[in-house]
Amino acid sequence: MPRVQPRQTSYLRKPRRVLPNPFSNRQGNAVSVERLFQICVATLATLGTLLFGIGQQNVTLPLLSAAAAATSIYVTDIRGWLRLNRFVANLGALLAVTIALIDFFNFDRGNQLLALANLLVYLQVILLFQQKDERTYWQLLMLSLLQVMVASALNFGLLFGVLLVVYLLIALVALALFLLLRESHALRPERSPQDRGVWESLLGGFGPRRATRMVVEPLPAAVTVKDVLPAVGGSAAVQCLLTIGLTTLFFFIIPRTGQKQLIASAPTAQRIVGFSDTVELGELGRAFQSTRDVMNVRFFDEAQQLLTVQGTLLFRGTVLENYDISGGRSRWTRTKSSHAATQHGGPDLDPQFAAALRPSGKSVIQDTTLEPLRREKTVFFVYPAVTEGDLRVSWSASRDQLERKPPVRSKLRLELTTYGFDQQQRQIVQRRVNPVMQRLTAPRLQALTRLPRGPGGEDPFPRLRAEAARVLEDAAKEAAMQRGADEGFSRLEKARLLEDYFLFDPRFAYSLDGQDRGRRLDPVEQFIAEKPIGHCEYFASALTLMLRSQEIPARVVVGFKADRSNSYGGFFAIEQRHAHSWVEVYLRPDDVPSRLRTEATQLYGAWLRLDPTPGGDADFGAESSIGLLTGVSELLDYSQYLWSNYVVGLDAQRQGDLIYRPLSRVGEGVSHVFTKEMWQETVPAFWKSLFDAETWRQLLVEVLTLRGFLLALLAVTLVTFTVWLLRRLVHLARGRRRRRAIQGDSRTYPVVEFYQRLEKLLAAHGLARAPTQTQHEFAVTIGGELRARGALREVAHLPKQLVEFFYRVRFGGKTLDKQQTEAVEQQLAQLAAALDQGSAGGR
């Protein structure tokens, strides 16, 4: 058989083991094992950079890596147009190290890890354009793995986990192909002088010289992807599933010793768009709405049972009480009070108020996971709420808001106890009237009714004042006609009348587009008088100033609004675009209606929540439609929630709730199964439900929903996989028994009669196999000896063919058919005749 040599020669200073030139073993349209391996390596390089880019929130490096990987396969591996030699590659590596060091010392401490990670990408690109050998492949695999390790410190998102599983599967396939590739070639050195052209001298070495050429002798049957991919792919898939299964098992059952969570430290935390501790009016441009996450919230009762929220939820953030029109700017700012106080671990409630607050309603636990923020420290919650003994959160008593302590570069999980709901069984509704948590001083109340004056002392809100007075006068006249007497309105009734003015007057419209209001009038005054179009900040500002014009204390509150929870997980996914502004009105204890009074409201009064924005759910239009896309979106949100809270955020408390306590209950349930009482109760109930039409109808309705369809699809998939796995295990067991039957005891070697005859025949002519030689090596050696004897050249290939049949029987567990048996006998006879003739000729 003639030798098969690579298309191009590999020039090396010393003989060394290398892989053959890429794709040299292609046959027709069959893709070689090496080509598939190179594609896998390029894919791993791209995936490693992609995982790193997701953590860095940068698409430049992943795109660069993908382009380099795809280009290198064609121009370097297939065509061989560009192959950097060791000298050029080392120069590129030195340049990459220099750039990385400059970035390392220029970046701040939190981003220095990125400079080192960028170096891995630069080195990877250089290696992709080198002649591939065993060393190069290992370096590419290791650089890709290092990128994944760095990425794991930057990002723990759901997408990262999914791509990590894909990376694992491709890596297992690549390693299996690498093993086949390394073991499928026999190499021998052969020296020959070669001259190099100009371009090859530049990219592949310097000048003509004698070099070592590694001649490749592949196995007799060329191996292609079609031959190995089913076995390699199936084996890699099984290994991947087993790896994920065992890893998941150990991850969840290993006890957590503390409350620390696996939280990715993002290189730069986000800033909330749409939420701010100030509200500036009069700006042009459309209000930007970002879909980035702010927090996830769920509500539980004291027994840790998930509660369902009815209606819209408002999460309080920042309280704004000062309206400033100086300097040509109109804006709301936070409270500036000399008596502002801050306590850690929640408000320091006096015993009297604490005793009054807790019986005023059932407590609800707000379980919140806040995303890392760059500047904002506000904690968003349902007012009123307390957090006991948590030093990560401080309470501003004068501002009625919770604040997280810096640093704010990691996620924060909090459990607050809120008393802002009315609860009926498993459903809760947010209250509109809630108690004031500390006594308001006279200066504070005066600030809540103050309207700013113009530079010359003039009133900047004449139309606003007049419109507020008109609304109340018209309502008073209408009430007098209906009641027959002018009884006047309470503070709460006046507040709601002014709220209804914005909600039901057709002149007012909600819009995210900024309006050109000029400088002639204050933006709120112009909003009332000329351009009644704007977003929630204008409506909240206008109502607050109208209330103050009537000597009613009021303030603007900025936070987030949620109108619907996730139907799969029962949590609220709050995004930046859900930022909202509304109004709080102070009610004295006597102003609170009797049906809304509690012991807590009778101490310091209450805050009445008003939301004057018409079509308050207009900015949630994309979420309000219920359909397939909404269901899929909620399912993805729920998957991300589970990943963030029960994988990334798995701490000792959640591990106990998720694993250990359910296991304990399962143990108790298993023990209950063997009791007589359980069978007496369960069996009759089961038979009754089995023939109950209503039970089947409810089951059908549940299956027809999206959730039911997905659960049914999951169940069918699990059953199908279980059946396939069982069949696979049975097949493997039968194959193992078959091989044992063929081979006998594993401690002895089966006898292959025709191969014994071959060795005896060759030994009789002085060609005995050495103890250190394998059968294949022996056949190759014998073929060379026979070629050296000119008369036996025609039968030099027969030993290798007979060894192939031997391997099929000995290691493959195959049985030769009649045609193959006749071929073996014919080849043995032909070889014996040639050897006898050669021996006679030699004598």
**pLDDT per position as a tens digit, 541-558:** 999 999 999 999 999 999
From the list 589, 587, 488, 585, the residue with the least C-alpha distance to 546 is: 585
- Classified as helix, coil or strand, 209 is strand
Checking phi first, is residue 274 left (phi over 0); if not, alpha (psi -120 to 50) or beta?
A: left
| pLDDT surpassing 90 at residue 96 | no
DSSP symbols for 542-595:
HHHHHHHHTT--EEEEEEEEE----TTT--EEEEGGGEEEEEEEEE-GGGS-GG
- The DSSP symbol for 373 reads B
Q: Mean of the pLDDT values across residues 766-783?
A: 85
Q: pLDDT at position 541, please?
A: 92
Instruction: State how far the Cα of 677 lies from the Cα of 694, in Å rounded to an integer.
Output: 27
**pLDDT per position as a tens digit, 129-182:** 888 888 888 889 998 888 888 888 777 778 888 888 899 889 988 888 888 777
Strand order in the sheet with 427-430: 308-310, 427-430, 421-424
Q: pLDDT at position 207, please?
A: 43
**pLDDT per position as a tens digit, 184-226:** 654 444 444 444 444 444 444 444 444 444 344 444 444 566 6
The amino acid that residue 17 corresponds to is R
Tell me the pairing of strands 433-435 and 385-386: unpaired
| pLDDT surpassing 70 at residue 733 | yes
- The DSSP symbol for 392 reads T
The chain-wide mean pLDDT, for the chain, equals: 76
Q: Mean of the pLDDT values across residues 299-304?
A: 86
pLDDT-wise least confident of 488-497, 538-547, 751-760: 751-760
- Per-residue pLDDT band for 464 (boundaries 50, 70, 90) equals very high
Residue 323's H or E segment, with its range, is strand 313-324
Q: Mean of the pLDDT values across residues 255-283?
A: 57
| The two three-digit tokens of residue 447, written as one number | 């600030």
From the list 276, 302, 453, the residue with the least C-alpha distance to 367 is: 302
Instruction: State how far the Cα of 840 lies from the Cα of 438, in Å rounded to an integer.
Output: 119
Share of the chain above pLDDT 70, in %: 75
pLDDT-wise least confident of 205-214, 288-297, 572-581, 672-681: 205-214
Q: What is the largest CA-CA distance in the chain?
A: 144
**pLDDT per position as a tens digit, 46-81:** 898 888 777 666 778 888 888 888 898 888 888 888
| 372 phi and psi angles, rounded to 5 deg | -65, 135
| 436 phi and psi angles, rounded to 5 deg | -75, 135
Instruction: State how far the Cα of 180 lies from the Cα of 732, in Å rounded to an integer.
Output: 22
Instruction: State how far the Cα of 524 lies from the Cα of 768, in Å rounded to an integer.
Output: 105
List of residues 6+ apart from 477 with CB closer than 8 A: none
Contact assessment for residue 621 and residue 289, using Cβ atoms and an 8 Å cutoff: no
Beta-sheet strands, E only, within 361-510: 364-370, 378-379, 385-386, 393-396, 401-404, 412-418, 421-424, 427-430, 433-435, 509-510
**pLDDT per position as a tens digit, 332-351:** 887 765 444 444 444 455 56
Other Cβ atoms less than 10 A from the Cβ of 423: the count is 15
Q: pLDDT at position 328, please?
A: 74
Who has greater pLDDT, 352 or 301?
301
Q: pLDDT at position 583, please?
A: 95
| Rg of the chain over all Cα atoms, to the nearest angstrom | 39
| pLDDT surpassing 70 at residue 27 | no
| pLDDT surpassing 60 at residue 263 | no
From the list 91, 215, 76, 186, the residue with the least C-alpha distance to 136 is: 76
Look up tokens 């000329």; give the residue.
530
Who has greater pLDDT, 456 or 366?
366
Q: pLDDT at position 398, please?
A: 65
Residue 537's H or E segment, with its range, is helix 536-549
pTM for this predicted structure: 0.62
pLDDT-wise least confident of 121-125, 209-213, 433-437, 704-708: 209-213
